[in-house]
Amino acid sequence: MAKIIISGYYGFANAGDEAMLTAMIEAFTLLDPQVEITVLSGNPEETRRQHGVKAIHRLNYPEIIGALRRADLLLSGGGSLLQDVTSDRSFYYYLSIVMLAKKMGKPVMLYAQGIGPVQGNLARCAMRVIGNMVDLITVRDEGSREELLDLRVTKPPVYVTADPVLALLPMDKAMGRILLSRAGIERGSRPCIGISVREWQNWLPYKKVIAEVADRIAREWSAQIVYLPMQWPEDVAAAREIVRRSKYPAFVLDEAYTTNELLAMIGQMDLLIGIRLHALIFAAVMNVPMIGVSYDPKVERFLRSLGQAAAGTLKDITGEKLFSEAEAVFKNQEKMKQSIARRMHIIRNDAFRNAELAAALIQSGKSRTAVPKG
């Protein structure tokens, strides 16, 4: 029975990261039903309850050392863990777990990571030294591989795969209809437009743009506007601030939903406008047409994998540009769905390959340490 430790941003009520963990557990269980998974979590009790795996607190180093001593593999990922833009403290934390595992002689895989940006000189040096110590790296886009080359991380094998969440199977949309109904949103003849927003450095202009476009969509399309929280409760606060600036009413979903619940509700949308990466990924899984607004290169990289471009960035997006893009997609929904379905057929296989490569790494490690008979 393989024993895997997973280090990442888990236990913080972030729907995208929890979806990654769901997808990773699902993939490894398919490959080995007896696999034992332990997650380093900010909320071990919630992680155990939600995912049905072992969990220890991410800062409990004595327990982490004990778990690593028994483990066959440490997975660092997935997600954008190795960047110093949002927090250099978390950057060094994730590298410390990798370093600890390697000091204990354990195989380490950077799992479906979105690498960078890494800007500080010390951070770049740490990434180069520790990155070259790991055994295997998979990245979710070509841009991340280029970032590794720029950082001079060249020793481990590197494979471009896809975000683990993209391996999830679509949810039954009926659940989404029920959940929306409970929130007072009835699906009928009126279009339902989902919007996923986030706080970003206390910027205000993009919030005004979202409010303007939401109002125009509500007025011209007679549409229902639904704000979906991917990070609870932060996204709820950001959405409510936008709604306060709007002239037309909108729904703000204010619960901490599970991965499956959010997938099902996004599946009920006619169009998703997303700032959060995993809101866009959820839309792709559910074959819902989308418009992305970028706050980070990872958003543009993902949209590029679907053959799309971002409508703009949080710094330069305008109401006219965003509405024009949304209108074009809305008028060509079926064509967009067909395009997403074609791309997703390939991307799902790439996403599942992360787990296959990890399983092969475990097997190669066991083969090297096996004692010959006789």
pLDDT digits (tens, 9 = 90+) for 227-285: 999 999 999 999 999 999 999 999 999 999 999 999 999 999 999 999 999 999 999 99
Establish if 280 belongs to a structural domain: yes
Residue 292, φ and ψ in degrees, nearest 5: -110, 140
Whole-Å CA distances, 358 to 28, 91, 213: 9, 22, 44
Distance of alpha carbon 223 from alpha carbon 270, whole angstroms: 10
If you average pLDDT over residues 1-8, what whole number do you get? 95
Residue 374 lies in a domain: no
Split at pLDDT 50, 70, 90, the class of 374 is: very low
* Structure tokens that stand for 289 in this block: 């047409």
Selection from 332, 318, 273, 321 nearest residue 299 by Cα: 273
Query: Do 35 and 151 lie in a common domain?
Result: yes
Please count the structural domains in the chain: 2
pLDDT at res. 93:
97
228 and 257 share a domain? yes
User: How many Å apart are CA 35 and CA 136, to the nearest integer?
Assistant: 20
Give mean pLDDT, residues 314-336. 96
Q: Is residue 68 part of a domain?
A: yes
Q: Identify residue 138 by its one-letter amino acid code.
A: T
| DSSP letter assigned to residue 169 | P
Give residue-wise pLDDT tens across range 32-82: 999 999 999 999 999 999 999 999 999 999 999 999 999 999 999 988 899
Helices (H), 184-317: 205-221, 234-244, 259-266, 277-285, 297-305
> Contact, 127 vs 82, CB < 8 A?
yes
Cα(5)–Cα(70) distance, integer angstroms: 10
Check whether residue 153 and residue 250 sit in a common domain.
no
Residue 217, domain member (yes or no): yes
Distances in whole angstroms, Cα of residue 85 to Cα of each of 164, 196, 234:
23, 21, 19
> Domain check: are 115 and 205 in the same one?
no
Q: Is the pLDDT of residue 371 over 50?
A: no
Q: What is the pLDDT of residue 370?
A: 45
Evaluate whether 80 touches 20 at the Cβ level (below 8 Å): no
Lowest mean pLDDT among 147-151, 166-170, 264-268: 166-170
Domain residue limits at 225: 173-346
Task: Say how far apart CA 190 and CA 15 lie, in whole Å.
Answer: 27
Provide the whole-model pTM.
0.87
**In-domain check, residue 332:** yes
What single-letter amino acid sits at 70? R
Domain assignment of residue 351, yes or no = no
How does pLDDT run across 14-32, given as a tens digit for each residue?
A: 999 999 999 999 999 999 9
- What's the CA dihedral at 249, 179, 164, 127 to 10 degrees? 50
In a domain, 360, yes or no: no
Percent of the chain, pLDDT > 90? 88
- Alpha carbon of 8 to those of 129, 136, 195, 282, 287: distances in Å? 20, 17, 26, 19, 27
What span, in angstroms and rounded, lies between the C-alpha atoms of 225 and 192? Answer: 6
Same domain, 142 and 251: no
Same domain, 109 and 210: no
Q: Would you place residue 367 in the very low, low, confident or very high pLDDT band (cuts 50, 70, 90)? A: low
Q: Say whether both 277 and 336 belong to one domain.
A: yes
Sheet containing strand 73-79, edge to edge, reads 54-57, 36-41, 3-7, 73-79, 108-113, 136-139, 158-160
**Non-local CB neighbours of 184 within 8 Å, separated by 6+ positions:** 251
Element (H, E) at 357: helix 333-369
6 has a pLDDT exceeding 90: yes
Q: Is residue 85 part of a domain?
A: yes
Q: Are residues 148 and 245 in the same domain?
A: no
CATH number for 309: 3.40.50.2000
Q: Judging by beta carbons within 10 Å of its beta carbon (0-12, 13-18, 19+), is residue 304 exposed, middle or buried?
A: middle
The whole-number average pLDDT for the span 91-99 is 97
